[in-house]
Amino acid sequence: MQWPLWDRAVRVIHWYLPLAIAFMWWSGEEGLYDWHSWVGYSLLVAVGTRVCWGIIGSQSARFAAFLASPSAVVAYVRGRPYQGEGHNPLGGWATVILLLVIFLQGLSGLFVTDDVMFEGPLMFWGGEWSGVFAEWHELNWLVLQVLIVLHLVALTYHQLYRKEPLIGAMWWGKTKSRFSLSKPKNTGLALVIALILAGLLFLLITLAPQAPSYY
């Protein structure tokens, strides 16, 4: 018997993020900046939706359900077994940090300019700081790569060594353990949130003043 753990909204966002990040890397390397920008916008919407869902979504998706106290994190690192389901104390905070770094990557991209090939849609607002945002974009990408590697190492350890079926749980949304979780919320609400955020971002980008052209 399997029991519901992760709702569809969490799973869709979770699996979309690595695909989008991989595409962002490839499109940036290939100079496909239009595609790079649009997928970057979608990442901002995805992270924003996940944050909102972490506040009003299903019980297991809420930050309050898996963000442990510092003492609980230390105890877990020192070897205290975790008896719950979903993110462990360390994994919960790792999730938030990953979301934050992905958000900062997308945010900095809005203000970036390299003075040659690419200008972010909010570059005009960045002003003299646009170059700083470009450096931040590069540095933050390195940080994100390190976090991704650590995430994969931790996932491999739990999946293969500790025999915890994390990949299957995140794919199917179910677990073999029964915990007292409320019924998952309708994914349609998450879709509405995503559409609202996408609309707001589109308006921001569309209405933002453009830098004057000298060509």
In this structure, is residue 120 part of a structural domain? Answer: yes
Domain total for the chain?
A: 1
Neighbour-count burial for 134-158, b at 16+ CB within 10 Å, e otherwise? bebbeebbeebeebbeebeeeeeeb
Average pLDDT estimate for 41-48: 98
Tell me if 64 sits within 8 A of 57, measured CB to CB: no
Collapsed DSSP state (helix, strand, coil) of residue 28:
helix
User: Which residues on neighbouring strands pair with residue 175, listed in sequence order?
Assistant: 3
- The one-letter amino acid code at 145 reads Q
Distance from chain centroid for Cα 203? 22
Q: What is the dihedral of CA 106, 36, 25, 119, to 10 degrees?
A: -70
In this structure, is residue 215 part of a structural domain? Answer: no
pLDDT digits (tens, 9 = 90+) for 89-105: 999 999 999 999 999 99
Q: What are phi and psi of 39, to 5 degrees?
A: -70, -35
Residues 102, 46: Cα–Cα separation, whole Å: 10
Alpha helices (H) in 31-157, listed in sequence order: 33-56, 63-66, 70-77, 89-110, 123-126, 130-156
Q: Using pLDDT thresholds of 50, 70 and 90, give the confidence band for residue 215.
A: very low
pLDDT at 118 over 90: no
In this structure, is residue 214 part of a structural domain? Answer: no
User: Which residues on neighbouring strands pair with residue 3, listed in sequence order?
Assistant: 175
Identify which has the larger pLDDT, 59 or 117.
59
Alpha helices (H) in 33-88, listed in sequence order: 33-56, 63-66, 70-77
The proportion of the chain whose per-residue pLDDT surpasses 70, expressed as a percent, equals 92
Residue with tokens 């009003």: 56
Q: In this structure, what CATH number is given to the domain that contains residue 95?
A: 1.20.950
pLDDT at 181 over 90: no
In this structure, is residue 213 part of a structural domain? Answer: no
User: Which residues on neighbouring strands pair with residue 4, listed in sequence order?
Assistant: 174
User: Residue 89 sits in which domain range?
Assistant: 3-207
In this structure, is residue 212 part of a structural domain? Answer: no
Q: What angle do CA 156, 3, 149 make, to 5 degrees?
A: 20
